[in-house]
Amino acid sequence: MTNAEYSRQSFWRQYIFSVDHKVIGLQYGLTALSFLLLGFMLMVLMRWQLAFPGEVIPWLTFVVIFILLGLAIVFLAGKKRPYLALNSLIFFGIAALIWYFTTGEERLPGGIMLPEFYNQLGTMHGTIMVFLGVVPLAVGAFGNYILPLQIGAPDMAFPRMNMVSYWVYFIGGVLMIISFFLPGGAAQSGWTSYSPLADINTGQTMWLVAMLFVIISSLLGAINFIVTTVQLRVEGMTWFRLPFFVWTQLITAFLLLLAFPSLQIGAIMQLLDRVAGSSFFIPAGIIQGGKVLEYSGGGNPLLWQHLFWFLAHPEVYVLILPAIGIITEVVTNNTRKPLWGYPAMVYSLFFIGFMSFLVYAHHMFITGMGTAVTTWFQTTTLIISIPSIIFLAVIVFTLWGGSIRFTTPMLFALAWVPMFGIGGLTGLPLGLAPPDIHLHDTYYVIGHFHYIVAPGSIIAFFAGIYYWFPKICGKKLNDNLGKVHFWGTIIGMNLTFAPMLVQGMAGVSRRLYDGGLGYDHAQPVLFLNEWMTWGAWIIGIFQIFFILNIVLTLRKKSRSEENPWDATTLEWATTSPPIAHGNFITEPFVYHGPYEYNVSVNGQNVPYLPQHKKMDIED
């Protein structure tokens, strides 16, 4: 199909049911960012309850802020950019949802939160953030948009399957939101949905159905990414000339492909327990409210935990590996040096991908698996920390002696290094069974994995958005607004997550509705609840700078250069944004590795050598 033919396609084919990986990537990105915002709002409601238990939540303030944001976008978009103005619907939608929560007697009557609703918010926060926010952003958005460009491919290997996988994910997300409106509300058994509680709690059925959609979507996506990477590399793009981001996406796709089926089986079994009366996860004689439930029994509640964590531990690496890929791209570009240990990074990646299937039961130390099993899993868990440390070390060594450009994406990337370090190191006590018995199910666990996912993954995604925005829109985001966004986010995140570690070590349990108010041992650390709540507000307020930055940049008339960062990888070998179908005007040929910065050619220093430029590098 030529470009002329392409632009004659109908509006629906071009923008809604598009098979172009760039449009699908943007669809994924916009949807995932909206879910991140929604998941964040659910958490802010919870945090208010934790800091001020039983007091009225300022829900009207939230509603007003979101309506104002929506109106600001409509105003800034102006009449000329109706599609940009449409994005305000996301903000109006969230405002409407918060308003809806305060109606009815079972959620937030008069702005005071009920315990059942707190459980719903907690469950949905986790589910939305992990399955509908971070993974689709990491894989669906960044992977879809950047990966084919970086390997010089005209599109993904199966463009129509790519479209289907987005829409299946979208349906899953919509079903997840709809569950708030059903009688009994949304799922309330935690994002881990442990049986037998999840077998009998209300709201779980819709969660399971929505999850089946999300699982099918990621299966289709994973196949597509692997085939694209292996089959569509352009000529000259040998394995060890792949940008490291492509490697991370490839391994991530394998994790999704091989880990998700076990949750699929688990979800089907839990669904059958709920709708067909089977007892896969229900032991005999289970009692609810003083009444013996009518189940045949004979099931095994721990089986659910095995099926769940066999997915959910590799899932953790799905959250973090693409983030490491983005950080690698940004760091090498802004230190103007080759990546210090590219082969070490690749081999570590293979090792971490393989090992991630062998560590999952460290989530289950207190289930009484027995010392032999426990010893095995704590050993593998400590072994898997080695490749993570290699990643960090390689990035630090890459910084060594470089002339660092402190651009906005680089600020995020630099902050990522210590933040991911804290996240990783706080994980070690959890990987060893004896300290884990004390720390299990406390706020320490929450603090640990939020350091991995929020200042870890999400910070990396911000770096990626600032870095690739000129590629996607042809315009550079404002540096000053970006820096304000950066400092506010990083300070807010630390204010939110560091106190969790302190509270957790004091023994405050993670699923308390009153934030520990009713417990003696929680009293000395209770004041931290307020800090964390203000931390969350700081994060939220500084995201306004990010949103405004995007809208204001899209309004700008002047375009940035084609390759504003002087980068070497193939996505900069085409126009910004790339041409609609086919990506490259002439198919590139690759002559070099991905990070040839400041190399010498014919006795002269070349500041950066794009992969598709033919020159002989001297050692």
Partner 1 sequence: MEIPFTVSERPDTGLTNPKFGIWLFLASEVMLFGSLFSSYIILRTGSLDWPVQSDELNITIGAVNTAILIASSLTMVLSWTALKEKQFKRFKLFIGLTILFAVLFLVLKIWLEYIPKIHHGHILSTNTFFAMYYLMTGLHALHILGGVVVMIFFWGPGSKMWQTNPDQFVNRIEVVGLYWHFVDLVWIFLFPTLYLL
Q: Which residues bind partner 1 (CB under 8 A)?
A: 1-2, 154-155, 157-159, 219, 222-224, 226-227, 230-232, 257-262, 264-266, 268-269, 272, 276-280, 295-300, 303, 306-307, 310, 581-582
**Least distance in angstroms from the C-beta of 586 to partner 1:** 12
Q: How far apart are CB 2 and partner 1 at their closest, in Å? A: 8
**Shortest gap between Cβ of 585 and partner 1 (angstroms)?**
11
Min separation Cβ 365 and partner 1, Å: 19
Cβ(606)–Cβ(584) under 8 Å? no
Q: How far apart are CA 385 and CA 381, in angstroms?
A: 7
Q: Least distance from C-beta 262 to partner 1, angstroms?
A: 4
Q: Least separation, in Å, of the C-beta of 257 and partner 1?
A: 5
CB nearer to partner 1: pick between 91 and 280: 280
Nearer to partner 1, 192 or 264 (CB): 264
Which residues lie across from 442 on neighbouring strands? 509
For partner 1, give the closer residue by CB, 223 or 417: 223
Cα separation, 451 vs 272, whole angstroms? 36
Residue 269 or residue 501: which is nearer to partner 1 going by CB?
269
Rank residues 268 and 399 by Cβ distance to partner 1 and give the closer one.
268
The minimum distance between CB 3 and partner 1, in angstroms, equals 9
- Residue 218: CB atoms within 10 A of its CB come to 27
Instruction: Give the distance, in angstroms, between the CA of residue 416 and the centroid of all CA atoms in the same chain.
Output: 14
Identify which of residues 318 and 445 has a Cβ nearer to partner 1 in the complex: 318
- Count H helices, E strands: the chain? 23, 4
CA distance 361 to 309: 7
Label residues 393-421 b or e (16+ Cβ within 10 Å = b). ebbeebbeebeeeebbbbbbbbbbeebbb
Q: Give min distance, CB of 165 to partner 1, in A.
A: 13
Peptide bond into 196 cis (omega under 30): yes
Q: Pick the closer one to partner 1 by CB: 112 or 258.
A: 258
* Alpha-carbon span 384 to 357, nearest angstrom: 10
Kindly state the smallest distance separating residue 151's Cβ from partner 1, in Å.
12
By beta-carbon proximity to partner 1, the closer residue of 58 and 159 is 159
Give the orientation angle of helix 59-77 with respect to helix 88-102, to 10 degrees: 160
Cα separation, 325 vs 420, in Å, equals 13
Query: To the nearest whole angstrom, how small is the minimum distance from the Cβ of residue 172 to partner 1?
Result: 18
Q: Count the neighbouring beta carbons within 10 Å of the beta carbon of residue 474.
A: 17
- Residue 43 has phi, psi (to 5 degrees) of -70, -40
- Between 2 and 604, name the residue whose CB sits nearer to partner 1: 2
SS3 422: helix
**Quick one: 67 or 200, whose CB is closer to partner 1?**
200
Alpha helices for 276-341 (secondary structure H):
301-335
**Which residues fall within 8 angstroms of residue 239, CB to CB, at 6 or more apart?**
none
Measure Cα distances from 151 to 230, 341, 594, 615 in Å: 10, 21, 10, 19
Q: What is the DSSP pairing of strand 287-288 with strand 597-601?
A: unpaired
C-alpha–C-alpha distance, residues 460 and 319, integer Å: 11
**Closer residue to partner 1 (CB): 63 or 255:** 255
DSSP 149-191: HHTT-SS-SSHHHHHHHHHHHHHHHHHHHHGGGSTT-S--STT
Q: How far apart are CA 20 and CA 158, in angstroms?
A: 10
Whole-number minimum distance, CB 295 to partner 1, in Å? 7
For the bound state, the minimum distance from the C-beta of residue 54 to partner 1, rounded and expressed in Å, comes to 41
Q: How far apart are CA 34 and CA 607, in angstroms?
A: 39
CB of 272 to partner 1, least distance (A): 6
287 vs 618 by CB, closer to partner 1: 287
Q: How far apart are CA 365 and CA 316, in angstroms?
A: 18
Using the minimum distance from each CB to partner 1, give the nearer residue, 222 or 446: 222
